[in-house]
Amino acid sequence: MTLNISFLHADSTPALKERIQDKSEHIKKYFDTEKIDIQWTCSVEKNAHSSIVTLRAGHRYFYAKGTSDDLYKSFDEVLKKLENQFHHKKSHIDHESVSEYAVNI
């Protein structure tokens, strides 16, 4: 897994980096490939704390943005959005494989 973390108008702290690494490790369980690239961008504009995650796993791409009054809350929001995308994609793939199997019988 490759993890790139960048901060825009925000200070990088060891605690933030550690939390992002923990959240990224949580994402890893959804994929059976070792080749996962994650770009995590944190930004602060006025009172809006945002996290943007771009993820590439194999040939699949995912993107999520979370905004909150707290940067740590935005991490949770992004993770929730990504998990929803993973579940949607998995059910879509499962549905396609069932349809293909039914057609080939």
CB distance 52 to 64 below 8 Å: yes
Specify the number of domains making up the chain: 1
- Residue 95's pLDDT is what? 44
CB distance 82 to 64 below 8 Å: yes
Q: How far is CA 29 from CA 8, 33, 46, 76, in A?
A: 28, 10, 34, 16
Give residue for tokens 């993107």. 63
- Residue 96's pLDDT is what? 44
- Residue 103's pLDDT is what? 40
CATH of the domain at 92: 3.30.160.100
- Residue 91's pLDDT is what? 62
Residue-number span of the structural domain to which 98 is assigned: 2-104
Quick one: DSSP state of residue 32?
S
Can you tell me the distance from the alpha carbon of 65 to that of 60, in angstroms, rounded to the nearest whole number?
17
* pLDDT over 90 (residue 92): no
* pLDDT over 50 (residue 100): no
Can you tell me the distance from the alpha carbon of 84 to that of 93, in angstroms, rounded to the nearest whole number?
14
Bridge partners, 53 (sequence order): 40, 64
pLDDT in tens, 23-74: 998 888 888 777 899 999 999 998 899 999 999 988 889 999 999 999 999 9
- State both tokens at 102: 């039914």
pLDDT in tens, 77-91: 999 999 999 888 766
- Residue 21's pLDDT is what? 94
